Structure 1
Amino acid sequence: MPYEPPTHTVERSLRATTGAKIVAGVDEVGRGAWAGPVTVCAAVTGLRRPPAGLTDSKLLTRERRTALAAELTTWVTAHGLGHSSPEEIDKLGMTEALRLAATRALDALPVRPDAVILDGKHDYLGAPWRVRTVIKGDQSCIAVAAASVLAKVQRDAMMAELGAGCSEFSFEDNVGYPSPAHRAALEELGPTPHHRLSWAYLDSLPRWQHLKRPRIAPDVIDLESEGQLGFDFTGA
């Protein structure tokens, strides 16, 4: 399906209206998974022409994402990655876990951005960062698209490593998201140390309901729309 390539329009606007010289694009992956961390990437790209085919990671095949990530690693001016663990997600709730992972990603940059373009409609980052939220920013903004690809490839690799110790869960394929194989393994074996124990999937697993941890205050982020409650693999 054809798509419009991302541009530097938002970054140019921030430079013109706020005087920002360094703008980072920020995107996350793993928000709606049952297992594994939530991962955030912050990418600084400047105003250079991006590698061919750059777009939202969800629009790319796994092979294309992997190849593009290798190219982006040397193409971006700088990038940083941050993670929040399943334990942190259960303890803090997803909104705070995203903030923590994003802060870690931004702190990992060798330069401090003057402004941040954040994918989505919710500013889960907040002060002291100057944030511009952009719905579908991973499709329209070059820096955010780069962050989406780098975050996705990094987290997929992490999940494949975790899956080596619990092959029944097929983490190398579903990367911790809902899937028939994932659900079948949960029903038979129960959650691993890599699973989020405050998630709603445990409500439908009678043998393991006793492991569920109470939810924190309701999150700003709508997790159900991200696949938390469904059983179809999304891999987003």
Structure 2
Amino acid sequence: MPYEAPTHTVERSLRATTGAKIVAGIDEVGRGAWAGPVTVCAAVTGLRRAPEGLTDSKLLTPKRRTELAAVLHGWVTCHALGHASPEEIDALGMTAALRTAAVRALDALPVVPDAVILDGKHDYLGGPWRVRTVIKGDLSCVSVAAASVLAKVRRDAMMAELGGNAAEYAPFAFGDNAGYPSPVHRVALEEWGPTPHHRLSWAYLDALPRWRHLKKTRVPAPPGAPEDGVQLGLDF
């Protein structure tokens, strides 16, 4: 599929306008899943030429994502991942859970970024970081695209491992759907109910009369933020 390669335009702009020397790109995966954590990657890439084929992880095949992630591990200046568990998502709401995961990723970096590029429209991170939000940043910004691929590959691997380690999770096919909505996943939920790795404040439980009593009260999202619990399965 033809695509326009991401550039360092935003990274260079932040350097020029704010004096930021270290810029981290941030992207998340797992926001719209029914099961598993939400995972955030913070990647610092400098201004070197990006590896061939780098783009938003959603545009890459699983095989190509895995190959590219292996290259990125040795190419990025540094990167780190942070996760927020299903329990934390239920307790905090998605917006706060995203911030929790992002803070964990940033705190795990061996450097302190002077500025952060956050994929999307909404700044779920806030201070003390200097944040620049960029819609479709995973398509246009090198550091965010790198974070997108690294986050997706790592979370997919976590979900595949989860599905392969316990026989009782086999019907959910986590290795195929990574915890996202799918016909197989829905059938398994109807038959077996949610596992300890499912989000119990999510709207999917409304359509499962046998298990609806397990639903937890969801924390409302702040005005203008994406509503928690909706099916935002765009990062399959």
* Interval of TM-score (by shorter of Structure 1 and Structure 2): over 0.9
Per-residue CA distance 1:75-110 (angstroms, 9 max, x = gap): 000001000000000000000000000000001100
Instruction: Pick from 194, 205, 221 the counterpart of residue 226 of structure 2.
Output: 221
Q: Using the alignment, how far apart are the partners of 1:193 and 1:138 within structure 2?
A: 31
The equivalent of 2:213 in structure 1 is: 210
Cα RMSD (Å) of the superposition?
Answer: 1.0
Q: Using the alignment, how far apart are the partners of 1:122 and 1:222 within structure 2?
A: 12
Offset of residue 225 of structure 1: 5.8
Offset of residue 3 of structure 1: 1.3
TM-score of the aligned structures, taking structure 1 as reference length: 0.95
Does 1:184 pair with 2:190?
no
Per-residue CA distance 1:121-174 (angstroms, 9 max, x = gap): 000000101000000000000000000000000000000011121110000000
The equivalent of 2:103 in structure 1 is: 103
Letter in 2 for 1:226: L
SS in 2 for 1:206: coil
Letter in 2 for 1:187: E
The equivalent of 1:66 in structure 2 is: 66
Offset of residue 235 of structure 1: 4.8
* Structure 1: gaps of 5 or more residues: 228-233
SS in 2 for 1:207: coil
Q: Using the alignment, how far apart are the partners of 1:172 and 1:122 within structure 2?
A: 30
Q: Using the alignment, how far apart are the partners of 1:129 and 1:103 within structure 2?
A: 10
* Structure 2: gaps of 5 or more residues: none
TM-score of the aligned structures, taking structure 2 as reference length: 0.95
Letter in 1 for 2:226: I
- Specify whether residues 115 and 235 from structure 1 end up closer, same or farther in structure 2 by C-alpha distance, changes over 3 A only: closer
Superposed, which structure 2 residues align to 1:100-139 within 5 Å? 100-139=100-139
Q: CA contact under 8 A between 2:221 and 2:227: conserved in structure 1? A: no
Letter in 2 for 1:221: P
